[in-house]
C-alpha cells in the first residue's frame, strides 16, 4: 500500500512494466510531479507551529507550487469560464472557491478583531460567527476553547495575531481529514461513488477522471446510475470530454454494469474504474440497501474492491451532511469524501464540522462546474481560504 496521490502524481514504477493502456489517456502531463509531491509532503508532514507574534507561519508559508490542473484546460469548453480564472494557482483557486464563506465570516471577524479587548463577549461573538458559517456547535466550541487557552499562554492581545492563531487552530482541526487517497497495486483500482440526488457525483467523476488522466493513469467509467433516464448520456458527455470509455447497459441493474466494467478494465489493463451510482436519500432505505448489494457484487469479482468508496457531499447541504455521512457509512463503509459546490455557498465551515464530528478523509473539494475544478483537499489552504 502506498500513498495513492503521491504515487499517481509521481508515476507508479510498477505500472511501467505493464503494457501501455490503450490510447485513452489525454495529453501527457507537462507538470513537474515534484510540485505536487511538495504540496502533499507539506500538508502531510506539517505540524502546526505555535503562533509567532507579527510573523504568522501561515502568512509566511511558501508559495504554493503550481499544479498542472491549476489552469483551465483547453478541453474545458464551458462557455462561462471567466478569463481571469485561467491563471489561478492551486491555492488561489481554492481561495476563490471559498469566497462566499470567507466574506460571510470576515464581515464579523473584521469588526471583532478591530475591538481592542479580547473578552468573553468577543469569544461569544466569534462563536456565533463560526456557527453561522456551519462550523457546527461542537467544532466551534473546540476552536474557541483552544483559542482561549493559547491566547492566554501566548499572551496575545492584538486582533491580527488572534486571527492568525485562529487560522492555525482551524488548520489543526482540518488536518484530521486531510488524508490522501491510498492506492493499492490492484488493477483495476475501483472507486465507487455514492451520494444523494444532485450532490455532484457525475460531474465529480468527470473531473476526477481528468485529474487521473493528467497523471498518466488509464480510466474506465461505469454508468452505475441506471435509475435516472438521462444519467448515461450525462456520463457519456464526460467520457467524451476525457476520451475514456463509459460502460453502460440497457438493463436496470447497476451491479451488473459495474461488474461488467471491472471485467472489461481487467481485460484491457485499465488502471482505474470509477463507478457512478444513482442519487439516493438517507431516508430511502431500500435504495441505501441496494448500495450494499452493489458492493457485494463488486466483491465477487475482487474481494479487495471497491478500493475506495466515496461519498459526494453538496456543501449547501449544511449540517445534514453529517447525517448523510452516518447513513452511507453504515451501508457501505465509506473510505473518503468529496465536498462539492464550495464556490456557491457561504457555509464552507461544514468541513470543520465533519473533521470534528465524523472525521472521514476528505479527498477532494469541488470549487466549480468545470473539468479542472476539483482540487486535492489541503487543510492549510482551506483554513486560509476561510479566514484569509
Ligand atoms: N458550482 C458548482 N456546481 C457543481 C459542482 N459540482 C457539481 N455541480 C453542479 O451540480 C449539478 C448536479 O451535478 P451532478 O453531477 O449531475 O449531480 P449527481 O449527484 O450526479 O446528480 P444525480 O445523478 O441526479 O443524483 C450540476 O449542475 C453540476 O454542474 C461544484 O463544485 N460547483
Ligand atoms: Mg449523476
Question: What DSSP letter does each residue of 247-274 carry, written as one string?
Answer: E--SSS-HHHHHHHHHHHHHHHT-SEEE
Question: Ligand nearest 375 Cα, by number?
Answer: 1
pTM for the structure as a whole: 0.81
> So what's the pLDDT on residue 29?
37
Residues 6+ apart with CB under 8 A from 243: 24, 26
> So what's the pLDDT on residue 86?
55
CA distances from 325 to 66, 186, 196, 320 (A): 32, 27, 11, 9
Residues at CB less than 6 angstroms from ligand 1:
195, 197-203, 225, 228, 231, 279, 340-341, 343-344, 366-369, 373
- Cα of 178 vs centre of ligand 1, distance in Å, is 23
Residue 364 DSSP symbol: E
Which strands, in side-by-side order, build the sheet including 246-247?
A: 246-247, 219-222, 272-275, 189-195, 308-314, 336-340, 362-366, 374-376
> So what's the pLDDT on residue 116?
64
C-alpha–C-alpha distance, residues 329 and 106, integer Å: 34
Task: Choose which residue among 97, 101, 203 to substitute to test ligand 1 binding: the one with the highest number of ligand atoms within 8 A of its C-beta.
Answer: 203
- Cα of 117 vs centre of ligand 2, distance in Å, is 50
CB neighbours (10 Å) of residue 84?
Answer: 8
- Cα of 371 vs centre of ligand 2, distance in Å, is 15
C-alpha–C-alpha distance, residues 205 and 223, integer Å: 11
CA distances from 193 to 24, 65, 141, 223 (A): 22, 29, 33, 11
> So what's the pLDDT on residue 345?
92
- Cα of 172 vs centre of ligand 1, distance in Å, is 30
C-alpha–C-alpha distance, residues 89 and 75, integer Å: 18
> So what's the pLDDT on residue 36?
33
Residues lower than pLDDT 50 in the chain? 1-85
| Residues 348/95, Cβ–Cβ less than 8 Å | no
Helix spans in the chain (H): 4-10, 13-16, 33-45, 90-97, 99-113, 120-132, 137-153, 159-174, 201-214, 231-242, 254-268, 285-301, 320-332, 350-357, 379-387
> So what's the pLDDT on residue 33?
35
Question: Ligand nearest 311 Cα, by number?
Answer: 1
- Cα of 195 vs centre of ligand 2, distance in Å, is 9
Amino acid at each position: 500500500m502506498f500513498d495513492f496521490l503521491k504515487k499517481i502524481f509521481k508515476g507508479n514504477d510498477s505500472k511501467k512494466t505493464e503494457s501501455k493502456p490503450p490510447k485513452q489517456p489525454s495529453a501527457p502531463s507537462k507538470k513537474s510531479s515534484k510540485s505536487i509531491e511538495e504540496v502533499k509532503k507539506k500538508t502531510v508532514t506539517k505540524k502546526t507551529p505555535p503562533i509567532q507574534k507579527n510573523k504568522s507561519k501561515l502568512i509566511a508559508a511558501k508559495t504554493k507550487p503550481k499544479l498542472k490542473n491549476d489552469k483551465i484546460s483547453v478541453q474545458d469548453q464551458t462557455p462561462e469560464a471567466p478569463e481571469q480564472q485561467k491563471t489561478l494557482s492551486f491555492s488561489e483557486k481554492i481561495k476563490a472557491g471559498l469566497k462566499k464563506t470567507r466574506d460571510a465570516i470576515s464581515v464579523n471577524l473584521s469588526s471583532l478583531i478591530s475591538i481592542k479587548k479580547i473578552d468573553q463577549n468577543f469569544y461569544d461573538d466569534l462563536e456565533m460567527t463560526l456557527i453561522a458559517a456551519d462550523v457546527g456547535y461542537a467544532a466551534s466550541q473546540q476552536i474557541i476553547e483552544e483559542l482561549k487557552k493559547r491566547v492566554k499562554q501566548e499572551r496575545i492581545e492584538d486582533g491580527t495575531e488572534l486571527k492568525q492563531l485562529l487560522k492555525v487552530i482551524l488548520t489543526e482541526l482540518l488536518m484530521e481529514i486531510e488524508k490522501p487517497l491510498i492506492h493499492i497495486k490492484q488493477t483495476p483500482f475501483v472507486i465507487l461513488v455514492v451520494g444523494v440526488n444532485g450532490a455532484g457525483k457525475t460531474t465529480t467523476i468527470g473531473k476526477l477522471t481528468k485529474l487521473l488522466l493528467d497523471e498518466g493513469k488509464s480510466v474506465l467509467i461505469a454508468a452505475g446510475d441506471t435509475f435516472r433516464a438521462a444519467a448515461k448520456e450525462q456520463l457519456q458527455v464526460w467520457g467524451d470530454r476525457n476520451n475514456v470509455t463509459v460502460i453502460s447497459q440497457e438493463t436496470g441493474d447497476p451491479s451488473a454494469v459495474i461488474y461488467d466494467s471491472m471485467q472489461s478494465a481487467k481485460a484491457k489493463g485499465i488502471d482505474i474504474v470509477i463507478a457512478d451510482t444513482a442519487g439516493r436519500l438517507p431516508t430511502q432505505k431500500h435504495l441505501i440497501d441496494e448500495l450494499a448489494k452493489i458492493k457485494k457484487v463488486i466483491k465477487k469479482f475482487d474481494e479487495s474492491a471497491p478500493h475506495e468508496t466515496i461519498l459526494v457531499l453538496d456543501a449547501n447541504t449544511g449540517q445534514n451532511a453529517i447525517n448523510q455521512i452516518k447513513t452511507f457509512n453504515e451501508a457501505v463503509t465509506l473510505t473518503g469524501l468529496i465536498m462539492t459546490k464550495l464556490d456557491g455557498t457561504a457555509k464552507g465551515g461544514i468541513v470543520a464540522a465533519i473533521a470534528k464530528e465524523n472525521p472521514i478523509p476528505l479527498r477532494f473539494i469541488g470549487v466549480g462546474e468545470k473539468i479542472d475544478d476539483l482540487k486535492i483537499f489541503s487543510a492549510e489552504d482551506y483554513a486560509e481560504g476561510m479566514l484569509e
